[in-house]
Amino acid sequence: MNTTKPTVATDRKAFRDSKRAKNWAVFGLIAAFCVLLFIITIVRML
Amino acid sequence: MTSFTSIETPVSAGAGNSVWTHFRDFSALLKPRVMSLVVFTGFVGMFMAPGELHYVLQIVAIICIAVGAGASGAINMWFDRDIDQIMSRTKGRPIPSGRVTPDSALTFGVLLSGGSVMVMGLAVNWLAASLLAFTIAFYIFIYTIWLKRSTPQNIVIGGAAGALPPVIGWAAISGNVALESLILFAVIFIWTPPHFWALALYRSDDYEAAGVPMLPNTHGPKETRKQILAYSIILFAISLMPYIIGMAALLYVIITLVMGVLFLVLAWRVFKYGLVKHCKQLFGFSILYLFFLFLALLVDKSLGLPFRPELAKVFY
């Protein structure tokens, strides 16, 4: 019997479809907010 | 109100109640321990802000922030009285234990909320009052009523309410919302998830019984521990921002680095081992962490010796 090894693409899709993805999406947004604060700081310093 | 379980019990203390007992019960509605951190961070926001305000009005502003925070806590206890009576951590609160009626708590909270916003507006300025009103409304409607019972991201998004006091304090003095105050907001905002999830990890049975979808209950301890570590790493980076923009000096950097490394070590232990003692250590330390960071800001500015005066010139 042939077994199909999961590929990176299917792993990613499974992650996107999982409940965990929302947590990391929120985390990503918050991290982006921090990066934005940092960029504004640097721009103001120039 | 019909959706709540029946806890509309009469006040049971009876004739033996003294004025002092009532005072103590209504004070407990204001969540004094939460309020103390809110007052402290709000005060630091005021202290760091450029501008002048008569010291009496500064005291008024601090009282308004404290009362507004406490009032939203009272309304939170009114709304959450059904789950508070289930959780061991909260079942001794005045409403579930029958010492204060739900209606009294709601009236108390609404009156104090309205009063604190009005006094802040009339005595200090309307920007600070608007921010205070927004904070109270956010805590009640967005966090308590909407997010808390519907998503494991409740304390992440709801944490914005707890992070706003320095912004209110800053606005009370300067009349604006500056980048510096947003950085103080960001520090508390990002500190909130690891703080509460550490608690939720060892109180997960309580939250499960009450049906509150905290992350350990919905996604399991392993995922929660990963998230705690991820937020702790961002916290370490963002906590250095006050120094980078020149609003803090050497003492702040030293304290932030030392406390930040300790925070990361504790978060790593929670991530790696996840024992109850590790979670308790992280939860307890996180309170000290925030206190010392903001204390360092106070002391730095009190000493009046900016470590990077060239940056201070840019921002003040």
Average pLDDT over residues A32-38: 92
**Residue A2 pLDDT > 70, yes or no?**
no
Burial class (CB in 10 A: 0-12, 13-18, 19+), B35: buried
Q: Of all helices (H) and strands (E), which one includes residue B75?
A: helix B55-79
Q: Stretch B26-31: mean pLDDT, rounded?
A: 91
Mean pLDDT calculated for residue range B277-303? 94
Mean local confidence (pLDDT), B89-102: 91
pTM > 0.90: yes or no: no
Q: Which residue has the tokens 């721009």?
A: A43
Distance, in Å, from the CA atom of B36 to the CA atom of A41, rounded to the nearest integer, reads 30
pLDDT for A9 equals 65
* pLDDT, position B311: 52
List the domains of chain B with CATH numbers.
Answer: 21-177 (1.10.357.140), 179-316 (1.20.120)
Q: Which residues of B touch A22 (CB under 8 A)?
A: 153
Mean pLDDT to the nearest integer, B11-39: 79
Q: A30 vs B230: CB contact, 8 Å cut-off? A: no
B218 interfacial to chain A (CB closer than 8 Å): yes
Interface test with A, best of B147, B156, B232 (most A CBs within 10 A): B156
Provide mean pLDDT across the span B79-88.
Answer: 92
Closest CA to B112 of B144, B76, B83, B159: B76
Say whether residue B191 is in contact with chain A using an 8 A CB cutoff: no
Q: How far is CA B156 from CA A19, B73, B220, B284, B295, in A?
A: 16, 18, 17, 19, 24
Report, as an integer, the average pLDDT of B170-185: 94
Q: Which of B223, B238, B245 sits opposite A20 (nearest CB)?
A: B223
Give the ipTM of the model, two decimals please: 0.80
The distance of B261 to chain A (nearest Cα, Å) reads: 19
Q: Is the pLDDT reported for residue A15 higher than 80?
A: no
B32-48 vs B55-79: helix crossing angle, rounded to 10 = 150
